[in-house]
Amino acid sequence: MAKRQRTIVGENLTPTLLTELGAVDKFPRTPANFQPNGNWMNKYRIWTCHGYRESGNENVGSLRITRRVDSKKTFVLEVRQEIVQTGGLTNVIEGTIKCRYDQLASPIEWNLLSQFSGPSGKIISELGFRNHGVAAESVTHTAGDWCLFEAVQRLAFDKKSSLSFDLLEGMSLSKLGHRLFYRRTYPMKTDGQSIHLHCFGQLGSGILPYEYWLDNRHRLLAVISMNKAYVLDQ
Amino acid sequence: MKLGGAAVALVADGTLTKRAFAGRKDRKPKPGNILLIYTDQQHIDTIAAGGCRHVRTPALDRLKRSSVSFAQSYSANPVCSPARSAVFTGRTSCETSVYKNGIPIRSDIPNIGQWFSQHTDYETFYAGKWHLPKTYTSKIPGFKVINTGIGGFGYLCDTAMSRACEGFIENRSKSKPFLLVASFMQPHDICEWLRLNMNNPGKLRYPELAGELPELPENFQFDKNEPQSTGKRRSGNEPFKGNWDKEHWQYYRWSYYRHIEHLDAEIGRILSALEDRGYINDTLIVLTSDHGEGMGHHQMVRKSSFYDEAAKVPLLFSWPGHIVEDKADTVHLTSGMDIMPTLCDYASINSPPRMRGVTLRPILEGGSGQSRDCIVSEGNTNTGRMVRTREFKYIKYVNDPVEQLFNMEDDPGETRNLAADLHYAAALSEHRKLLAGHEASLDVPRDIPHTEFWRTRA
């Protein structure tokens, strides 16, 4: 039997490459009333790349983040992440994160529930886990990874835009020594028109570099880290 | 619905406070629970507390400080499925029939889940990568699978898997002991990294990292007169296809360490769950990997090499109050095959017949333990053998006239092949005999490729 030919991607994923690999058809147009510091909902498809052009790349879940303003100094992020595993097992993490209205969207208090369901959709109660956390008053310079999806939309497209912080991944794992910084503009064609995207980078312990890609209206269209991409669907 | 959970508080230094733990003071010869943490493609020198200065690994540090860790620990076969078959059975990979990836363990050899289910009161659970033969599956003989993982993507797979283990530990009744295998995909994602970074970009992708990249290893150069299969493997890998320069090699090493840190955090989630639930002092924890990672030593990446970087694996055992704490054992040679008999020993049961591994319990508890002459590792598709004695390493491939002999005390980087040096003729002959003796003792099915080649060396 002839060996299947596969082409190694060879380079880091970008929005253009996501289009070439079939992960993106077109990015949704940002609504006229979109305000990064207002109420909004972004839903991302989670797409993974095995490193070949022809095969092994797939959607494995979704992430929905809803921002709700609840005071002048705080807002609430409603988060729902779904990861589909082999054999129809699904992990859903759902809950709320109350954040300070500061540059990092610093978490104040969070309530999250992790649950697994089997192929039939029935919840596997033995694997559920509730995570309730409160940040002490003394906590500064800490950001949640989901919170950064919000915070990055409020940053200026400027080389001076940089943040230093410790990461609280999944609101449960502490990863120290992170920085987020503006990288560049990036021309691409989508939906028959030429647009300029803006890219922020994130480096730090416990992660491969993250890149946040935003449109001119500051809406976050894609987040890419090595072999995974969050692609805005709606 | 019953749900486990933990109240946590984030404090100023970025760490999470945990509930206080009330440890048990009574000594028992048999651990209440057993946790086997199995990683994929973890180089042995990737723990900060073990001296690696390029990573932050608080969870592995903590585990290492409560463990005996073996510095001369070798994979039984530095390829995924074969290595796994040896760990889960205590037999050589060829004996289990798993001479390459994607083959099931032969049906008359029990895996640890089957053996424990039959002979102990431990309930046996499995989470994550299996690869015998299916990489991810909900059906593993002898185990109840609590989480299947996701094919190929450790970054997402391991997070979901460790969350399942966290929930399992939090919700489980304490009335019955468990054996839980938490089998991680990371840091195997470095394989995807290699494919997504094959082409040398000609400049550092993140200038912000200038000055932070790890140096190249001292044994970065390689011997041009190596066995053919080693050279062929190297030239087929991404660094040579993509014409890497020094900086890109360094960036690869930097990236590998980030994968390790991701793994560390997920391991930390499970360890914290054990601690929060009050299990930590009554749980025997074992950590090992299927194989190592080339990391640029000899300009190799990935696995399937007998050089120490791919052939060695971390091996840690922890059971507070029973196993010596914070001890790095640099003396004893160990193999992945030792895990099965060691766990059987701790479970107070006999091992299955024809174990090739040995129990490490006497060493773990401060005794002198067995003193092996050598260990033997097998190679992918049954085409190679590595014999490691205290002083030397001998490597032989099928139908390749080039043999390798390294003095591991004088040349731990394996840079000077002594096989053709007449001064070492006696050592070479001795190692050939050790291999022959080993092969003569095995029970390898005749349909395994190259069985006759190795048998006739006996």
pLDDT tens track, chain A, 234 positions: 556 789 999 999 999 999 999 999 999 999 999 999 999 999 999 999 999 999 889 999 999 999 999 999 999 999 999 999 999 999 999 999 999 999 999 999 999 999 999 999 999 999 999 999 999 988 889 999 999 999 999 999 999 889 999 999 999 999 999 999 999 999 998 778 888 999 999 999 999 999 999 999 999 999 999 999 999 997
CA distance A2 to chain B (A): 19
**B7, B136, B148 ranked by CB distance to A132: nearest:** B7
Phi, psi of A108 (to 5 degrees): -105, -50
Phi, psi of B407 (to 5 degrees): -85, 105
C-beta atoms of B8 and A227 within 8 A:
no
CA distance B189 to chain A (A): 8
The pLDDT value given to residue B152? 65
Q: Residue A6 falls within a domain, yes or no?
A: no
The pLDDT mean for chain B works out to: 93
**A84, A107, A203 ranked by CB distance to B209: nearest:** A203
C-beta atoms of B153 and A48 within 8 A:
yes
Mean pLDDT of B433-458: 93
CA distance A40 to chain B (A): 26
A227: left (phi over 0), alpha (psi -120 to 50) or beta: alpha
Q: Which residues of A touch B59 (CB under 8 A)?
A: none
């002048």: which residue's tokens? A72
Mean pLDDT of B355-368: 94
Which residue ranges form the domains of chain B, and what is each CATH number? 30-372 (3.40.720.10)
Q: Which residues of B touch A10 (CB under 8 A)?
A: 195-199, 242
Q: How far apart are the first and last CA of chain A?
A: 43
For B160, name the nearest residue in chain A, comparing CA atoms only.
Answer: A91
Q: Is A209 on the interface with B (CB under 8 A)?
A: yes
**B14, B167, B205 ranked by CB distance to A126: nearest:** B167
Q: How many residues does chain B have?
A: 458
B73: which strand partners?
B334
CA distance B138 to chain A (A): 7
Q: Which residues of A touch B138 (CB under 8 A)?
A: 86-87, 89
C-beta atoms of B1 and A126 within 8 A:
no
For A92, name the nearest residue in chain B, comparing CA atoms only.
Answer: B160
Q: Indicate if the pLDDT at residue B26 is higher than 80.
A: no
Cβ B311 vs Cβ B43: under 8 Å? no
Mean pLDDT of B357-377: 90
Q: Which residues of A touch B172 (CB under 8 A)?
A: 126
Q: Quickly list DSSP for B65-125.
A: HTEEEEEEEE-SSSSHHHHHHHHHHSS-TTTTT-SSTT-PPPTTS--HHHHHHHHSS-EEE
Neighbours of B95 (CB within 10 A): 24
Q: Indicate if the pLDDT at residue B18 is higher than 80.
A: no
Q: Quickly list DSSP for B355-402.
A: --S---HHHHTTS-----SEEEEE-GGG-EEEEEESSEEEEEETT-S-
Range of the domain at A132: 15-28+36-232
List, for residues B210-231, the tens digit of each pLDDT value. Answer: 999 999 999 999 999 999 999 9
Q: Mapping DSSP to helix (H, G, I), strand (E, B) and coil, where does residue A65 land?
A: strand
For B265, name the nearest residue in chain A, comparing CA atoms only.
Answer: A173
Sign of CA dihedral A106, A112, A117, A121: negative
Q: Which residues of A touch B156 (CB under 8 A)?
A: 46, 48, 60-61, 83, 228
How many whole angstroms separate alpha carbon B405 and alpha carbon B199?
Answer: 35
How many whole angstroms separate alpha carbon A160 and alpha carbon A155?
Answer: 10
**A48, A51, A209 ranked by CB distance to B195: nearest:** A51
CA of residue B150 relative to chain centroid, distance: 20
For A170, name the nearest residue in chain B, comparing CA atoms only.
Answer: B159
Q: Which residues of B touch A86 (CB under 8 A)?
A: 136-138, 148-151
Q: Which of residues 54-113 of A touch B (CB under 8 A)?
A: 56, 60-61, 83-87, 89, 91, 93, 107, 113
Q: Residue A7 falls within a domain, yes or no?
A: no
The pLDDT value given to residue B14? 42
B101 burial level (CB within 10 Å; 0-12, 13-18, 19+): middle
Mean pLDDT of B268-277: 97
Two tokens, residue A138: 């003394």
C-beta atoms of B56 and A176 within 8 A:
yes
Number of domains in chain A: 1
Sign of CA dihedral B63, B64, B70, B73: positive
How many whole angstroms separate alpha carbon B455 and alpha carbon B458?
Answer: 5
The ipTM (two decimal places) reads 0.97
How many whole angstroms separate alpha carbon B173 and alpha carbon B147?
Answer: 19
Cβ B166 vs Cβ B274: under 8 Å? no
Two tokens, residue B329: 């054992």
Q: Is A172 on the interface with B (CB under 8 A)?
A: yes
Cβ B362 vs Cβ B67: under 8 Å? no
Interface test with A, best of B134, B143, B169, B196 (most A CBs within 10 A): B196
How many whole angstroms separate alpha carbon B20 and alpha carbon A182?
Answer: 42
How many whole angstroms separate alpha carbon B62 and alpha carbon B268?
Answer: 9
CA distance B300 to chain A (A): 18
How many whole angstroms separate alpha carbon B105 and alpha carbon A130?
Answer: 38
Domain with residue A197: its CATH number is 2.50.20
Output the pTM of the full model. 0.95
* Enclosing H/E stretch for B256: helix B246-276
How many whole angstroms separate alpha carbon B148 and alpha carbon B30?
Answer: 29
Q: Could you check whether the bond before residue B187 is cis, i.e. omega within 30 degrees of 0?
A: yes
pLDDT interval class at B12 (50, 70, 90): very low
